[in-house]
Amino acid sequence: MPHSIPGIHHVTAIAGDPQQNLDFYTGILGLRLVKLTINFDDPGTYHLYYGNENGTPGTILTFFPWPGAPRGRHGTGQATVVSFAIPAGSVKFWVERLQASQIRVDGPFPRFDEQVLAFADPDGLQLELIETATGFEPWRQGPVPAEHAIRGFHSVTLTEPGCESTAAFLTGGMGFGKAGEASNRFRYSTGAGSTIDLLSAPELRRGMVAVGTVHHVAWRTPDDAEQRAWQHELATRGHDVTAVRDRKYFHSIYFNEPGGVLFEIATDPPGLTVDEPLDELGRRLMLPPWLEPQRTRIEGALPRLKLPLAG
C-alpha cells in the first residue's frame, strides 16, 4: 500500500487568450511564470506554468491556452474551484487589489473558521484566496508584497451529483480523512497539506471541460517507486489507470475518480530546473528533447507573447 498523498502537485486548467492569461496570473495575482513550454500532447498549444519562485510542487497552476475555443460549463463531475492560500490578515489587501483591476469579488466570508475571498479569472475559472497559517514560500520578487503574496494551494473543490462514491474513494483508496462538514460541503484531508472539498449539487447539469474550467488535478508523490505503487494499487482496485508518461519535469499517471474528475499522480522530481537555471525560469520556450528538432515550426505556429519583466 503506498503512503498517503502529501498534497496537491499542480492543477491544470484551460484558458483562451494566452497573453490575457499571462497578464492576469503574473501581473494581478503576482505568481511567477516558472515554465514556458508546450502541451506535449498538442504541440501547437502553449503550456504555461505559474508558481512560487522555484515552482515548488503544491504551488503550480498550469494552463493550456486555446484561443477561440468555446467556454466550458461549470457543473458536476468537475473540479470547479481552485483555492490559494494567503497569510492571515491579507484579505483586505486582496479585496483592494482585485477591485482596483475591476475584478468582482465575493466576500470575505467565513468557511471552516477561515476567511475566503471568491472571484474569477478573465476566462471564468473560479478562484478563491483563503487566509491560513500554512503554505509555501511566496515569490518575493513579484509585484505583490511578500507579506500578502500567494503561498501555494489551499484546496480544490470538486462538484458532484452525490459525494458518497468519491468520499469512499478518498478515504478508502487515497488516505484522506473527513475534516469538516457544512451544509452540502464536505472537507477531506490527508493531514499533510492536502485538502479536497466535495460539493454535493444534484440539481446541476454535468460540467463540460473547455475554456475557463479545470482540466485535471495532480497529486504529489515523492518518487517513481511510490508512483508505481500507486499505479498498482489503483489498478488492483479496478481503476483504469494509464501507463507512466514522461512530462520532463515530472512523471505522471492519470485516472478518473468515481465522480468523473480527472486525477493525476505526479512525481516531485526532477523539477522545473532540470532544463534551465532558477533565475531564468519562464524566460524562453522550453521543449522536450523529442520535439526540439521541430522548434522552428513550433515557434512559428504559436502566438507571440510579451513576457513579464524578470523579477
Q: How far apart are CA 88 and CA 19, in angstroms?
A: 31
pLDDT of residue 122: 98
Q: Any idea what DSSP says for residue 105? A: -
Please report the pLDDT score of residue 3 as a whole number.
79
Q: Hey, what amino acid is at 49?
A: Y
Q: Is the pLDDT of residue 129 over 60?
A: yes
Question: Across the chain, what does the average pLDDT equal?
Answer: 95
pLDDT over 60 at 299, yes or no: yes
Categorize the per-residue pLDDT at 182 as very low, low, confident or very high, splitting at 50, 70 and 90.
very high
Residue 216's pLDDT band (cuts 50, 70, 90): very high
Kindly list the structural domains of the chain, giving each domain's residue range(s) and its CATH number in brackets, ordered by start: 8-301 (3.10.180.10)
Collect all residues with Cβ–Cβ distance below 8 Å to 277 and sequence separation of at least 6.
Answer: none
Give dist(CA 18, CA 24) in Å, integer: 10
The answer to whether the CB of 86 falls within 8 A of the CB of 130 is yes
Please report the pLDDT score of residue 192 as a whole number.
57
Question: Can you tell me the distance from the alpha carbon of 237 to that of 124, in angstroms, rounded to the nearest whole number?
Answer: 36
Query: Average pLDDT in the 139-157 region?
Result: 96
Please name the amino acid found at residue 88.
A
Burial level of 289, CB count in 10 A (0-12/13-18/19+)? exposed
pLDDT tens per residue across span 72-119: 999 999 999 999 999 999 999 999 999 999 999 999 999 999 999 999
Q: How far is CA 180 from CA 48, 193, 233, 260, in A?
A: 34, 15, 27, 23
Q: Would you state the cell numbers that stand for residue 63, as one nine-digit string?
A: 494552463
pLDDT-derived band of residue 189, with 50, 70 and 90 as boundaries? very high
Q: How many Cβ atoms from other residues are within 10 Å of residue 36's Cβ?
A: 21
Residue 193 has pLDDT above 80, yes or no: no
pLDDT at 173 over 90: no
Neighbours of 224 (CB within 10 A): 12
How far is 50 from 35, CA to CA, in rounded Å? 7
**Can you give the pLDDT at residue 138?**
94
**Average pLDDT of span 46-58:** 97
The string of pLDDT tens digits covering residues 246-290 is 999 999 999 999 999 999 999 999 999 999 999 999 999 999 999
Q: Residue 310: which pLDDT band, with cuts at 50, 70 and 90?
A: low
* Short-list 23, 31, 81, 36, CA closest to 56: 31
Task: Kindly state the average pLDDT of the residues 7-20.
Answer: 97
Region of 15 (left: φ > 0; alpha: ψ -120 to 50; beta: rest) is: beta
